[in-house]
Structure 1
């Protein structure tokens, strides 16, 4: 799990567009979903929506992640509950960027990816 708390105090607004948190898996990984939580302490701070971009190893082009015709993912409504967003197809990525879009309080996020590090190919049912 990775946590992030921005230095910016206030609600997510246009001044935050372009801010992101990035994870580098150091090699391509298959990802099947993302779990998000809000802040783990007493403050009511969490991201309510976000979008993702991914980068495949040896590529220089970031790609938007799209699910159900949109690039926007629904996140948290409180700090306690984990929210799971699964991908309809596994995604191959070395790096992933999460861009917060809306939040409650400061931009605060804990996140974890669901995936397979030893899979050699993408399997669909």
Structure 2
């Protein structure tokens, strides 16, 4: 088996160095001109070997590049038989752990989207044959009008409230159809029962909203029976929904579990939307869902 180019050069460098040392120690009986001649030849060999070795090393660094998908790579000369050519060697890729984890997460998300698409295929195949009433029934069945409180598309970090009683009653517990669990009472409850308390969502960008669905607190006689809605592009400049120049008061729930839908007079375009309780039973407690703007004329229940 042949030797690595860089190793050969290093051997030549070592040999040349030894020659210089030996020649410098020759007896004084040798003629000065002869010693200078020998040392000159050796120096030439040394210089050529140095530049060849440096060039070989640079070639390896240039040719030994990371493959697509790798953040880190290192040269792995291995066996001479595994060379790609004279100065290029196989590459050992070392992927960053975080990148690997991110790729796995993206794969799972893609698989989730593919699964959802497969579930939606029957819906789209039926759309051509459905009447208006049939389409409305279809949208209700698959909750296509819901904006993401129930499904979790709206994340916990996008749900806000003026106050909450404790972590068991936090604002992100206010998802439609949420139930009691070991760490949750199944709804949002305010810290105080005073006008001015609110719960709302930051969509992250302007969205169209047609209405809101509310429920009370599961297993407890607590619910919001009247409320106002405010929305806008900036949290400090929200406007209440009005009708005939007056702030609308929507009729909410009268029990713990029944869903009540209130459609707005017109589609709202807003990034921030808030629900302000005006009347309640025992405690301000509720669960809710927001309805897509394209469902203005569809009852999503």
* 3-state SS, counterpart of residue 31 of structure 1: strand
> Residues 26 and 72 of structure 1: is their aligned pair in 2 closer, same or farther, counting only changes over 3 Å?
same
Report deviation, 1:33.
0.8
Of 49, 62, 75, the residue aligned with 2:238 is 62
**Deviation larger for 107-116 or 30-39:** 107-116
**What is the alpha-carbon distance in structure 2 between the residues aligned to residue 80 and residue 98 of structure 1?**
18
Matched, 1:87 2:271: no
Structure 2 length-normalised TM: 0.34
Q: Conserved in 1, the CA contact under 8 Å of 2:215 and 2:288?
A: yes
Q: Which residue of structure 1 aligns with residue 189 of structure 2?
A: 5
- In our comparison, the structure showing a higher alpha carbon Rg is 2
> Residues 67 and 111 of structure 1: is their aligned pair in 2 closer, same or farther, counting only changes over 3 Å?
farther
Q: Which residue of structure 2 aligns with residue 27 of structure 1?
A: 205
Q: Which residue of structure 2 aligns with residue 74 of structure 1?
A: 251
Report deviation, 1:67.
4.0
Q: Conserved in 2, the CA contact under 8 Å of 1:51 and 1:101?
A: yes
Whose strand proportion is higher, 1 or 2?
A: 1
Runs of at least 5 residues in structure 1 that lack an aligned partner in the other structure: none
RMSD of aligned residue pairs (Cα, Å): 2.3
Q: Conserved in 2, the CA contact under 8 Å of 1:36 and 1:84?
A: yes
* 3-state SS, counterpart of residue 53 of structure 1: strand
Whose helix proportion is higher, 1 or 2?
A: 2
Runs of at least 5 residues in structure 2 that lack an aligned partner in the other structure: 1-148, 150-171, 175-187
Deviations 1:59-116 (A, max 9, x none): 8521111246542110001112100001121110100111101101111010110014
**What is the alpha-carbon distance in structure 1 between the residues aligned to residue 292 and residue 189 of structure 2?**
24
How many residue pairs are counted as aligned between the two chains? 111
**Deviation larger for 48-57 or 104-113:** 48-57
Matched, 1:17 2:201: no
Q: Which residue of structure 2 aligns with residue 101 of structure 1?
A: 278
Structure 1 length-normalised TM: 0.78
Q: Answer 1 or 2: higher relative contact order, Cα 8 Å, separation at least 6.
A: 1
**What is the alpha-carbon distance in structure 1 between the residues aligned to residue 274 and residue 213 of structure 2?**
14
**What is the alpha-carbon distance in structure 1 between the residues aligned to residue 290 and residue 284 of structure 2?**
19
* 3-state SS, counterpart of residue 191 of structure 2: coil
* 3-state SS, counterpart of residue 221 of structure 2: coil
